[in-house]
Amino acid sequence: MDTDILAAVREELLQSADENTRMSAQRFFKEDVKFYGVKSAQVKKIAVKHQKMIMGRNKRQIFSLCEDLLRSNYGEEAFIAFEWAYSLRRSFVPEDFLVFEKWVEQYVDNWAKCDTLCNHTIGSFIEMYPEFLKNLKEWAHRDNRWLRRASAVTLILPARKGEFLSDVFEISDLLLQDKDDMVQKGYGWMLKEASRKHQEEVFGYVMQNRAKMPRTALRYALEKMPAEMRKKAMER
């Protein structure tokens, strides 16, 4: 039965694929990526349609289906897997963190997969179980660039709501001089979202650290600031 569902998902993706869409997707990535070439809105429709067919299964069975999709390495299948995982958020338990950590380590290989999984699924998990913030800080020390980016982008939506400010700053400290541009953009984005509710505090953090922050992270962090603040912070 599970193989039938996965086969149906893949057949629908193939039927919806467009070569121009597939070719254009590569432009957004430095890495080689694997796509069918299905537009995001259509992938979402396919995810929702087949999600209804798996609703009777328990969470472990659905997570297993998600992992089968992730193993294919197709971007669209990863998006569907993460949509299905996010749909289960009300039933998350602490033990699920190990599943999500494994997915980042083994299946995330570009910024789109990282952000889709972290912004929603893992971000919701952290809001439910903030004791796992310490695990995000541990990710910031890892060799895997996507775990380091994930340590920041998991807090994008909580930071936008004004939550976890001290943790935002602590993770930024850990990533401050990271050489990887994907990590720099990740924590800069996190600071930008935190600035929506905590503009003065984030500006103070940026001013204190601007001499050490890579310009990429600095630009991202300042994006929502007034022009005069941006100008002051970018002065050398």
Q: Indicate the pTM of the whole model.
A: 0.94
**Domain presence at residue 61:** yes
**Domain presence at residue 187:** no
**Domain presence at residue 231:** no
**Domain presence at residue 152:** no
For residue 56, name the pLDDT band (cuts at 50, 70, 90): confident
User: Is 192:216 a contact under the CB 8 Å cutoff?
Assistant: no
Report the pLDDT value the prediction gives residue 41, as an integer from 0 to 100: 95
Q: CA–CA separation, 153 vs 145, rounded Å?
A: 12
Q: CA–CA separation, 155 vs 171, rounded Å?
A: 10
Report the pLDDT value the prediction gives residue 53, as an integer from 0 to 100: 87
Is the pLDDT confidence value at 55 over 90?
no
The gap from C-alpha 119 to its chain's centroid, in whole angstroms, comes to 4
What is the span of the domain harbouring residue 32? 1-91
**Domain presence at residue 179:** no
**Domain presence at residue 4:** yes
**Domain presence at residue 203:** no
Report the pLDDT value the prediction gives residue 1, as an integer from 0 to 100: 59
**Domain presence at residue 13:** yes
For residue 236, name the pLDDT band (cuts at 50, 70, 90): low
Domain of 15, CATH number, reads 1.25.10.90
pLDDT tens-digit series, residues 172-210: 999 999 999 999 999 999 999 999 999 999 999 999 999
Computed over every residue of the chain, the mean pLDDT equals: 95
Count of domains in the chain? 1
And the tokens for 169?
Answer: 């700053």
The gap from C-alpha 96 to its chain's centroid, in whole angstroms, comes to 17
And the tokens for 233?
Answer: 């912070």
SS3 content of the chain, % helix, strand, coil (to 5): 75, 0, 25
